[in-house]
Structure 1
């Protein structure tokens, strides 16, 4: 017996390949996003190590666009990468905290996590640059001993890099971990 007042539901059309790919990608992203941070960090460490070993035996050719320091991803992605994180994650934290707590002071308190993350990012990247500076040296130069890359170039020398810890790799991994942790925190806020 069907009630004449209940609306009849239409069946959706057949699932398309686009729907299948989107749904599968969404489920994979959810699985990754809610993995424990320790597993994500270990995953990144393994990937960076394997890619570093691979690149030392098979370096990219000089003509390869992505190997160039002037490529668009290096210029606008990693050089100002923390800026992109701040302008996307900052409003997300503010809005999600404000909507949950209905308080500007609580939203500001939650933004301090991003402030602390920014301070840590600044400290670590400057430490990486300092390590490279003190372990590098200037060769084929005239005059006194230049102490950094710019002075070496001005003296007509060539800078031989020392220990060059990849600040780009650190920043990209750090950004991914910060973003995924903020999303996980948002998930916790929803269920409280």
Structure 2
């Protein structure tokens, strides 16, 4: 008697608890550590257009004790501020070098169709996560959602408004500046973007990026790992002749190739550094509520894209699941 087909190996939903645990640990450290005494940074520096949060008014002292509390630390400048570039590079390397999506060996038409479907669905999942990041932190028919929320909760460009207000009748209207400025233009003009609820774009971006790469990497690696330990989706049922086309990854020698190994190292390197910078953000940047607001948006998107399709067949048919 044939047994039910086993579910594909993937990250469990409980794995998402690592993110609130990280923020909680960082928040506790910021309270208990004598060196973690956040203060406002009054300096104004230009903001990168690819910065993860356009409304990021970081809570830093002017002379931070910890290296990671400095906005100009090398990891913040060359990793976090261009974090989606690293995320995209790691994701593309996974698509190019994982045998789940590509192969140089001769393939039947059914194998080609399966790989094409997997690739298309993986790109769709990446696109959906990217849209959430972009609309939240970069652009939403003008200012990003984070900027709009900041202004809606009373935020404004304080110092610039004061300076323009002292210009006299020939100056611009401060009310206009308050309405038009985004965090990027405010800081570039020498103002201080303060007064509202500043959802942490760092937290939002880092959670989205690390979750995306983790789910995709585990899904792409699972068939090879199952094959190594002699476990396949055919376990417990009679193997049919047509199964040779339905599960081509397990028999491919490319699963241990040099390129695939380094692609996975890049992916997990980005995930590891992303988690570390999330922990540093939890300690040094933003208020408690601002960090958890960013986490809520990110986890809602991740749950919808990677967990919900396991229960909804209609959604799974469209965006698929990593490794399936």
Name whichever of 140-149 and 64-73 sits farther off: 140-149
Aligned to 2:208: 174
Match of 2:218 among 181, 184, 189: 184
- Residue 66 of structure 1 corresponds to which residue in structure 2? 68
TM-score, structure 1 as length reference: 0.66
Q: Which residue of 1 aligns with 2:140?
A: none
Instruction: Tell me if structure 1 keeps the 8 A contact 2:19–2:207.
Output: yes
Q: Which has the larger radius of gyration?
A: 1
Choose between structure 1 and 2 for higher RCO, CA contacts under 8 A separated by at least 6 residues. Answer: 2
Seen in structure 2, the aligned counterparts of structure 1 residues 124 and 74 have a Cα distance that, compared at 3 Å, is: same
The alignment status of 1:39 with 2:33, answered yes or no, reads: no
Q: Determine if contact 1:134/1:162 at 8 Å carries over to the other structure.
A: yes
Output aligned runs, 1:1-192, within 5 Å: 35-36=11-12, 38-55=13-30, 58-59=36-37, 62-63=63-64, 64-96=66-98, 97-99=101-103, 101-102=111-112, 105-106=116-117, 107-125=119-137, 126-135=144-153, 136-139=155-158, 141=162, 142-143=164-165, 144-145=174-175, 146-147=177-178, 148=181, 149=183, 150-151=185-186, 154=189, 158-190=192-224, 191=232, 192=247
Q: Is the 8 A contact 2:129 2:208 kept in 1?
A: no
CA RMSD of aligned residues (A): 3.0
- Counterpart in the other structure of 1:7: none
Give aligned pairs, total.
158
Structure 1: segments with no counterpart, 5+ residues: 1-32
Conservation of the 8 A alpha-carbon contact between 2:186 and 2:192 = no
1:73 Cα offset (Å): 0.8
- 1-structure distance, mates of 2:83, 2:222: 27
Q: 2:120 & 2:135 partners in 1: Cα distance?
A: 23
Question: TM-score, with normalisation over the residues of structure 2?
Answer: 0.42
The structural deviation recorded for 1:110 is 3.2
Bigger proportion of residues as helix:
1
Separation in 2, partners of 1:114, 1:158: 34
Query: After the TM superposition, which of the residue ranges 173-182 and 122-131 deviates more from structure 2?
Result: 122-131
Q: In 2, Cα distance between the equivalents of 1:68 and 1:121? A: 24
